[in-house]
Amino acid sequence: MKYLRFPALGREVSQLVLGSMVFSMDDLGLTFDLLNEYLDLGGNLVDTAHIYGGGNSERALGRWIAATGRRDEIFILTKGAHHNVDRRRVTAEDITCDLRDSLARLGTDYVDLYVLHRDDPLQPVGGIMEALNSHIAAGRILAIGASNWTIPRIEAANAYAADRGLKGFCLSSNHLSLAAPKEPVWLGCVDVRDAASRAWHARTQFPLMPWSSQARGFFSGLFSPEVTDNDLMVRVYYSRANWARLDRARELGLQRGFQPIEVALAWVLHQPFPCFPLIGPRTVEELHSCVRALDLSISAAEAAWLDTGETPATP
């Protein structure tokens, strides 16, 4: 495993973050196997959310904590205040309700990182930051972040917090992968693949924890232009430019002894800012594949070629 120092926690955090969407009360064996192997490989940050599996992702993680007593070996990141079909929910009341649910499910009295799952641009940032900081003051949260928030909204929230001596967001969790999305994966999602967003992260060194860092398996070999039964994949990732990126990932992988999906993850890891990709292995073997990507060192020129196909001119 490789680590980067995470200032908001004052500790080193593993660069690969274990996602928990496959955690389930119906298959605790898989949940336990993934968590135990991830820790044995040196991982120490687990990502979950109030809405995953109707709460069962958090419950399964809590069951593992209770059974193993390894709470102090991991950082827990959970997310809340996701909208539902009836209303937008980025409010102090919903943040509080979701956080209390999450703590009860997890069987812990605090989470290390609490991340808002969606933004509501109609909500002033002041009330949001005040609500989050009230939970920090109570010891329920150590640090806070924002998922699917635009950079201007993050800046506004952190300016409000700085002016009042409050803690601001310490991370962004937006979409980033070698495969460029044609449109948002889901309504309200934010992608930071554009040059301006990545330049902002590079300039500020603001940590990014990108979700769908492997483009939902686009580089796995399971998808091709002829495989059209997955509407989401076709809608978001099927493009001539992305098939060319897949070809280049295959080419580099053959040269260096890695699978294309490992090359794609290495591209995300080699950003010019602190980057902690969220991974979503469904098996222990897939977890090992993700960890192998840490061994693939790619240059800035190779990263640019994987993305655009252009080789930088020699000075």
Mean pLDDT in residue range 60-68: 98
Q: Please say whether the dihedral angle defined by the alpha carbons of residues 266, 271, 276 and 280, taken in this order, is positive or negative.
A: negative
> Residue 312: is its pLDDT beyond 80?
no
Q: Flag whether 12 is in a domain.
A: yes
What residues have CB less than 8 Å from 86, skipping those under 6 apart? none
What's the confidence (pLDDT) of residue 315? Answer: 46
Averaged confidence pLDDT in the chain: 97
Rounded CA separation 295/23 (Å): 27
- Assigned domain for 157 exists: yes
With beta carbons less than 8 A apart as the criterion, state whether 185 and 213 touch: no
Residue 302 within any structural domain of the chain: yes
Residue of 52, 114, 160, 238 with catalytic role: 52
Q: Is 52 a catalytic residue?
A: yes
Question: Tell me, what's the pLDDT at 260?
Answer: 98
Task: Confirm whether 224 is domain-assigned.
Answer: yes
Q: Is residue 314 part of a domain?
A: no
**What's the pLDDT score for residue 311?**
79
- Classify residue 313: in a domain, yes or no: no
Task: Please give the residue that has the higher pLDDT: either 193 or 314.
Answer: 193
Residues 208-247 pLDDT 10s: 999 999 999 999 999 999 999 999 999 999 999 999 999 9
Does residue 207 belong to any structural domain of this protein? yes
- Lookup result for tokens 């980025």: 90
The yes-or-no verdict on residue 39 having pLDDT over 60 is: yes
Range of the domain at 235: 3-308
Write down the pLDDT at residue 217: 97
CATH of the domain at 9: 3.20.20.100
| Domains held by the chain: number | 1
With bands split at pLDDT 50, 70 and 90, how would you rate the model's confidence at 283?
very high
For residue 6, pLDDT beyond 90: yes
| Closest alpha carbon to 145 in 236, 264, 39, 45 | 45
89 in a domain, yes or no? yes
Q: What confidence score (pLDDT) does residue 38 get?
A: 98
User: How does pLDDT run across 122-165, given as a tens digit for each residue?
Assistant: 999 999 999 999 999 999 999 999 999 999 999 999 999 999 99
User: 278 and 211 in contact (C-beta within 8 Å)?
Assistant: yes
Please give the model's pTM, rounded to 2 decimal places: 0.96
- pLDDT computed for residue 313 by the predictor: 53
CA-based max dimension of the chain? 59
DSSP the chain: --EEEETTTTEEEESSEEE-TT--TT-HHHHHHHHHHHHHTT--EEE--TTGGGGHHHHHHHHHHHHH--GGG-EEEEEE----SS----SHHHHHHHHHHHHHHHT-S-EEEEEESS--TTS-HHHHHHHHHHHHHTTSEEEEEEES--HHHHHHHHHHHHHTT---EEEEE-B--SSPPSS-SSTT--B--SHHHHHHHHHHT--B--BSTTGGGTTSSS--TT----HHHHHHT-SHHHHHHHHHHHHHHHHHT--HHHHHHHHHHT-SS-B--EE--SSHHHHHHHHHGGG----HHHHHHHHHSPPPPP-
The span from the CA of 179 to the CA of 238, in Å, is 9
pLDDT value at residue 288: 98
Residue 98's pLDDT band, with cuts at 50, 70 and 90, is very high
